[in-house]
Amino acid sequence: MANITRFDPFSDLLTLRDSMDRMFDERFLRPLTWRGVDGESISPAIDVHQDADWIVVEAALPGVKPEDVDISITGQTLTIRGEAKADERIERDQYLYRERRYGAFHRQLQLPVRVEGERAEADFEDGVLNLRIPKADEVKPRRIEVKAAPRMVGGNTNGKDA
């Protein structure tokens, strides 16, 4: 006996959309932490988290010297630029494998809240740039004290006794 299946033209479109989404997935476009070879832009991986007072940015910059990094904040836009320099003692044709990326890098991101960029602090430890940016006072959470209203005797609120 033959099975009858209802024709659904939209099921094929959904499958096509899923395929396109997978094709343009972030992992497909940026499979490596550092993109590019010989002259292409390199984009370091970053982690960003926050607490009540600070936005903290950690950028993986292995082999980069602190003096080769430039950090700027304009409004809520953070920009990290620099250069990972190759070892010039070894000539290009002497390499058997060369997988580490070298060249200029650039990463720009929009911070989620207003910050005080002039008070930012940065340090380098084990190839990781640690950047602490204080949040602007107007976006920090404030504790509001709740005061109890004076209690009326007998439930009369107009101030006169009945």
- The residue ranges of every structural domain in the chain are 36-144
| Closest CA relative to residue 59, chosen from 129, 109, 107 | 129
Q: Is the dihedral of CA 80, 46, 77, 140 positive or negative?
A: negative
Residue 160's pLDDT is what? 57
In the three-class reduction of DSSP (H, G, I as helix; E, B as strand; rest coil), residue 18 is classed as: helix
Residue 35 has pLDDT above 50, yes or no: no
Distance CA 54, CA 77 (A): 15
Rounded mean pLDDT, 73-83: 92
Q: For the domain with range 36-144, which CATH number is right: 3.40.50.300, 1.10.10.10, 2.60.40.790, 3.90.870.10?
A: 2.60.40.790
Q: Does residue 71 register a pLDDT over 80?
A: yes
Q: Kindly write down the DSSP assignment for every residue of 87-154, as one continuous string.
A: -TTS-GGG-S---S--EEEEEEEE-SS-B-GGG-EEEEETTEEEEEEEBPGGGS----PPPPPPPPGG
Least confident span in 43-47, 74-78, 106-110, 156-160: 156-160
**Mean pLDDT across the stretch 74-78?**
92
Residues 6+ apart with CB under 8 A from 32: 101
- As a whole number of angstroms, the distance between CA 154 and CA 88 comes to 89
**Gap between the Cα atoms of 120 and 78, Å rounded:** 11
* Digit-coded pLDDT (tens) for 6-33: 777 666 666 767 777 766 665 455 444 4
CA distance 17 to 20: 5
